[in-house]
Amino acid sequence: QQQVKQSPQSLIVQKGGISIINCAYENTAFDYFPWYQQFPGKGPALLIAIRPDVSEKKEGRFTISFNKSAKQFSLHIMDSQPGDSATYFCAASRGNYQLIWGAGTKLIIKP
Amino acid sequence: DAGITQSPRHKVTETGTPVTLRCHQTENHRYMYWYRQDPGHGLRLIHYSYGVKDTDKGEVSDGYSVSRSKTEDFLLTLESATSSQTSVYFCATTTGQNTEAFFGQGTRLTVV
């Protein structure tokens, strides 16, 4: 019930392509779904977040798609660049202080 | 990094010894968190604090204790370190529930 399942574990995309990372959850009480980006040797940093009252949120090249009925949400990175190479984490919380994190996706953008 | 400093950045310690990790913030954020990060597990919450002297357990709190005597400092103590506590530890802060979390640079702890 508390898990957030993230896939794939790793992803290689050509420069200019679309990177897609998926997450699924079970707990319907979750009401906040952020995505974090982490570079080696650094702490995670918030990339974009969505609440379940909207189906899509876009910030620049980054878009979250949210499917409430399927209990899934995904991150799309358009026109992927080598600088986007990082580990991406989805997470979810239910109005408290505890973020439940996915296992992470290591994204490599090939020039 | 939103003024969050963790110390030490790296530590090697022996099994059975006590270890204290420090998190210091200059943002005056009310909420502070300690996470551990392990391959294949993402980040897991150890303990969090919602104010001075107010703390609560996260999902992996066994073997860990915390203290927060000032708004800016949040200490994580491993009472008797074990090899299973070898990990990268991150401190984070937020201004409230369901808000952006700001992370420190992490502490890599190795228990031998």
pLDDT tens digit sequence for A18-64: 999 999 999 999 999 999 999 999 999 999 999 989 999 999 999 99
Q: Quick check: helix, strand or coil at residue A43?
A: coil
- Give the DSSP letter of residue A32: B
Q: What percent of chain B has pLDDT over 70?
A: 98
Complete DSSP assignment for A73-110? EEEEESS--GGG-EEEEEEEBSSSS--EE---EEEEEE
> Could you give the CA distance from residue A109 to residue B16 in angstroms, rounded to a whole number?
43
Predicted local distance difference test score (pLDDT) of residue B96: 86
Nearest CA-CA distance, residue B75 and chain A, Å: 18
Q: Which residues of B touch A104 (CB under 8 A)?
A: 42
Residues of A in contact with B90 (CB under 8 A): 43-44
Q: Decide if A43 and B42 are in contact by the 8 Å CB cutoff.
A: no
B42–A102: do the CB atoms touch at under 8 Å?
A: yes
Chain A: nearest CA to B104, how far in angstroms?
Answer: 6
pLDDT tens track for B26-62: 999 999 999 999 988 889 999 999 999 999 999 999 9
Number of helices and strands in chain A (H, E):
0, 11
Burial degree of B100 (CB within 10 A; 0-12, 13-18, 19+): middle
What are φ and ψ of residue A54, in 5° steps? -125, 155
Nearest to A61 by CA among A26, A27, A20: A20
Tell which of B43, B68, B90, B97 to mutate to test the A interface (max A CBs under 10 Å). B43
Contacts of A101 in chain B (CB under 8 A): 42-44
Query: CA-to-CA distance for A17 and A41, rounded, in angstroms?
Result: 26
